[in-house]
């Protein structure tokens, strides 16, 4: 959530920054709504003060044995007036809250200008895409020939955008997950969390999925829960409504969960294979830090995600997202895009974002500042990595002419020393 004080004090600046994201915002309308709130509050306070003074006058008149009738008549309509002002004020406050909840974060000054992913800026590349002496196949053909990916079974059991992994395919997914968790906990200093896979509306509001993106969530029919779209939701909300001591920061969490998304608006895109699924596994990294350290934390979080790709010998590039391509809650985002020989291009495998105080303000997640007063944390998260897409990249980049797939040395201990899937 944007800082309401900033919105009131400088709505033109907010409008200018939101315009960078392609969002139209009317500062005059926002200012008028806030002026209406102030006016109603003043009217309500005046009426309440009048009611209090009238009640006191009635008591004094009765104590003196005087006729309180004229004062009672004067007070008769105050209750209705107060109720009308209270109702009007509640309506304005609901409108103000809805405005704040539906406005995205402001982009950081370092975020490139641009309207969509065509305007994202490449920062660097790591590794060289493999040069095959045969026509490389995509993961669908590789997985089906090896008998480890079963897309027909997934469609039969659930529908489109679901996959069944068999045998070494299922074991490979488990190995990748374990490898990532071990790397982040043992080398990068994260604490592992095993959160619920269901979340309530307060949690999804806290991280920014609600109310704006409800159509992309799977909601339970008869219960007030949603299937989580990412571990970011439950893990970040661990600090909702909390005040932590500054000496405990930074807090660094890692969690493996399945993730569930409707993929609303993506119909017709990536319908082949495992690139865009309704259910997928992900290892998520979350950091909660003091504001002055959050951009250094963003760079470290990016490096932690990059390490996974480097250990697995998967070529990738780092992209800085332009203002028009930022996610709703993000102030700045890097995407990691892994090379997929089957598509002949780089595809996103991780987004690493700094949300500054945007999520913390929605959650009231705070720390004890040096002056002893509570202050809002900065929150960050990123995929470390999306397990299914990592499996896809591994199959495609390490495929061999005979149809087999080599296992990177870093992953072999998690597969009992297996060096090749054949």
Summarised one tens digit per residue, pLDDT across range 116-148 is: 999 999 999 999 999 999 999 999 999 999 999
Does the structure show a pLDDT above 80 at 106? yes
What is the pLDDT at residue 55? 79
The sign of the torsion formed by the CA atoms of 339, 345, 350, 354 equals positive
Please tell me the least confidently modeled range out of 27-31, 62-66, 107-111, 320-324. Answer: 62-66
Q: Give the dihedral of Cα atoms 86, 88, 89, 91; nearest 10 deg.
A: 120
Residue 23 near residue 99 (C-beta atoms within 8 A)? no
What is the pLDDT at residue 57? 82
Residue 407 near residue 421 (C-beta atoms within 8 A)? yes
Does the structure show a pLDDT above 80 at 62? no
Residues noted as catalytic:
261, 276, 348, 351, 389
Q: Which two tokens stand for residue 206?
A: 């806290």
The sign of the torsion formed by the CA atoms of 255, 258, 263, 266 equals positive
DSSP 137: P
What is the pLDDT at residue 149? 98
C-alpha dist (Å) from residue 239 to 2, 207, 232, 234, 297: 19, 11, 12, 10, 18
- Provide the β-strand partners of residue 286: 253, 381
What is the pLDDT at residue 184? 98
Residue 288 near residue 249 (C-beta atoms within 8 A)? yes
What is the pLDDT at residue 220? 96
How deeply is 363 buried, as exposed, middle or buried, from its count of CB atoms within 10 A (0-12, 13-18, 19+)?
Answer: buried
What is the pLDDT at residue 296? 98
Q: What is the pLDDT of residues 235-285, one digit of tens each?
A: 999 999 999 998 999 999 999 999 999 987 777 788 899 999 999 999 999
H or E, element range at 409: none
The sign of the torsion formed by the CA atoms of 344, 350, 351, 352 equals negative
Q: Mean pLDDT throughout 210-222?
A: 95
Q: What is the pLDDT of residues 345-400, one digit of tens each?
A: 999 999 999 999 999 999 999 999 999 999 999 999 999 999 999 999 999 999 99
Q: What is the pLDDT of residues 69-91, one digit of tens each?
A: 777 777 778 888 999 999 999 99
Q: Mean pLDDT throughout 142-156?
A: 98
Residues 6+ apart with CB under 8 A from 5: none
Closest to 275 (Cα-Cα) out of 369, 353, 212, 345: 345
What is the pLDDT at residue 170? 98
Q: What percent of the chain is modeled with pLDDT above 70?
A: 99
Round to whole Å and give the CA distance between 23 and 40.
29
Cα 148 from chain centroid? Answer: 32
Mean pLDDT rounded to a whole number for the chain? 95
Q: Concatenated DSSP letters for 161-217? A: T--EE-THHHHHHHHHHHHHHHHHHHTS-PEEE---SEE-HHHHHHHT-TTTTGGGS
Round to whole Å and give the CA distance between 312 and 398.
10
Residue 2 near residue 106 (C-beta atoms within 8 A)? yes
Residue 323 near residue 97 (C-beta atoms within 8 A)? no
At residue 224 the predicted structure's pLDDT band, cuts being 50, 70 and 90, is very high
What is the pLDDT at residue 265? 73
- Phi, psi for residue 283 in degrees, rounded to 5: -105, 120
pTM over cut 0.95:
no
Does the structure show a pLDDT above 80 at 173? yes
What is the pLDDT at residue 218? 97
């Amino acid at each position: 959530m944007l800082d309401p004080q900033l919105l009131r004090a400088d709505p033109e600046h907010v409008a200018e920054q939101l315009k960078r994201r392609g969002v139209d915002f009317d500062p005059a309308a926002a200012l008028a709504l806030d002026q209406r709130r102030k006016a109603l509050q003043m009217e309500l306070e005046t009426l309440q003060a009048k009611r209090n003074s009238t009640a006191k006058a009635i008591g004094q008149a009765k104590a003196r044995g005087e006729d309180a009738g004229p004062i009672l008549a004067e007070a008769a309509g105050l209750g209705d007036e107060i109720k009308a002002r209270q109702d009007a004020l509640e309506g304005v406050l609901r409108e103000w809250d809805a405005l704040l909840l539906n406005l995205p974060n402001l982009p950081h000054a370092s975020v490139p200008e641009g309207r969509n992913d065509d305007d994202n800026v490449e920062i660097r590349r790591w590794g060289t895409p493999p040069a095959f002496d045969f026509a490389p196949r995509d993961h669908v053909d590789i997985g089906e020939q090896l008998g480890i990916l079963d897309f027909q079974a997934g469609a039969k059991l659930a529908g489109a955008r679901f996959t069944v992994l068999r045998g070494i395919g299922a074991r490979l997914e488990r190995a990748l997950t374990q490898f990532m968790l071990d790397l982040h906990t043992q080398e990068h200093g994260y604490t592992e969390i095993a959160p619920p896979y269901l979340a309530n509306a307060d949690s999804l509001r806290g991280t920014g999925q609600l109310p704006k993106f409800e159509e992309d969530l799977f909601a339970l029919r008869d219960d007030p829960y949603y299937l989580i779209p990412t571990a970011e939701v439950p893990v970040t909300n661990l600090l909702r409504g909390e005040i932590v001591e500054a000496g405990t920061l930074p807090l660094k969490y890692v969690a493996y969960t399945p993730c569930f998304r409707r993929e609303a608006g993506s119909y017709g895109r990536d319908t082949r294979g495992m690139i865009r699924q309704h259910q997928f596994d992900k290892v998520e990294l979350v950091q909660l830090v003091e504001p002055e350290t959050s951009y250094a934390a963003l760079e470290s979080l990016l490096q932690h995600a990059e390490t996974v790709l480097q250990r697995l010998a998967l070529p990738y590039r780092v992209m800085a997202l332009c203002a028009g391509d930022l996610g709703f809650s993000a102030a700045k985002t890097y995407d990691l895009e892994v090379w997929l020989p089957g598509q002949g291009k780089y595809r996103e495998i991780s987004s690493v974002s700094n949300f500054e105080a945007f999520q913390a303000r929605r959650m009231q997640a705070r720390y004890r500042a040096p002056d002893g007063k509570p202050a809002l944390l900065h929150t960050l998260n990123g995929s470390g990595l999306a397990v299914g897409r990592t499996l896809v990249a591994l199959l495609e980049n390490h495929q061999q002419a005979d149809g087999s797939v080599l296992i990177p040395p870093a992953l072999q201990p998690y597969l009992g020393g297996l060096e090749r899937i054949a």
